[in-house]
Amino acid sequence: MATPLNLKELSKKEELFTPGHRLCAGCGAPIVAKMVVMAAEHPLVMTNATGCLEVSTCISENTAWKMPWIHSAFENAGATIGGIEAMYRSLKKQGKIKEDIKFIAWGGDGGTYDIGLQALSGVMERGQDVLYVCYDNGAYMNTGIQRSSATPLGADTTTCPAGSVVQGKPQGRKDLAKIIAAHQGTYVAQASPSNWQDLMKKVRKALDHKGPSFMNIIAPCNRGWRTQLNDAILMSRLAVDTCYWPLFEIQDNITTITYKPKEKKPLVDFLKPQGRFKHLFAPGNEAILKQAQDDVDAYWERLLKEEACFAK
């Protein structure tokens, strides 16, 4: 039986993701990493695609991870964790390993939505018993804030800058959660560090799931989003309460919304604090703001309809 998510008891657990890493002050990624490993109730083996989390938590002989941890290339975290899990199954079958071990791969949105999508799809399609966690900050932050396919509509990035011709990224975000949910036998969840119990319950559910699991977790980047250093949880909460980042899970093709805002806030509440959207509030860009709001509303309504359909 899973241990209850009690703050007092959680505070007594050993910190497997330690202080002293080199991630930026106020970064959302270490908050997510700490929550994920704290939720786990089994020994862990991890692989980490190149990115902010990887380069800042394991430099030379210094590491923030108190567990077996492997640096993968940008494109192959899914393949690496799949190989480790396959080796484990073989050794366990031979009686050389007795422990029940869980396997987690990490990647940012650049290494997950884009560069690593093929390897991620492969490990999901093969039905391997792993969890892949994407910490989604909406751009290639580690290499200079270039746009990714997770970058939202209208965001100003170094490769799709706001100017006289283009007002930031002209496309919306790729719906990666639904893409992964199309792989048979997967458990898929979207989560936010602002809703810590929801996030940690989903981690436990993902690790208990017999087969492939995927979690997409928003991880605000104050450098790339151009927000205040202490705004990570605030921005995560605004993303959830505006339904820009709805919290849901998909298992056996059944969609369940795990949090519904009492009052759905307008998307501009999430956009205004971010410098990457500053240009959208200049005269002439009203249509982009409307399109962004319409897209969020339409996606939320689809989720509600999917949930209602399965509830019947």
SS3 92: helix
Domain ranges of the chain: 22-311
Instruction: Kindly report, residue by residue over 190-223, the tens digit of the pLDDT.
Output: 999 999 999 999 999 999 999 999 999 999 999 9
Instruction: Using pLDDT thresholds of 50, 70 and 90, give the confidence band for residue 7.
Output: confident
Tokens representing residue 229 in the block = 């250093």
Calpha distance 256→205 (Å, rounded): 14
- CA distance linking residue 258 with residue 192, whole number of Å: 11
What does CATH list as the number for 22-311? 3.40.50.970
Q: Which of 264, 283, 290, 265 is closest to 154 using CA atoms?
A: 290
Q: Are strands 187-191 and 213-218 parallel, antiparallel or unpaired?
A: parallel
Q: If you average pLDDT over every residue of the chain, what do you get? A: 96
- Please write the tens of the pLDDT for every residue from 38-48: 999 999 999 99
The radius of gyration of the chain's CA atoms, rounded to the nearest angstrom, is 19
Interatomic CA distance for residues 243 and 297, integer angstroms? 8
pTM of this prediction? 0.96
**Cα of 308 vs its chain's centroid, Å:** 25
With bands split at pLDDT 50, 70 and 90, how would you rate the model's confidence at 4? Answer: low
Distances (CA, A) of 221 to 30, 82, 118, 235, 308: 11, 29, 25, 10, 34
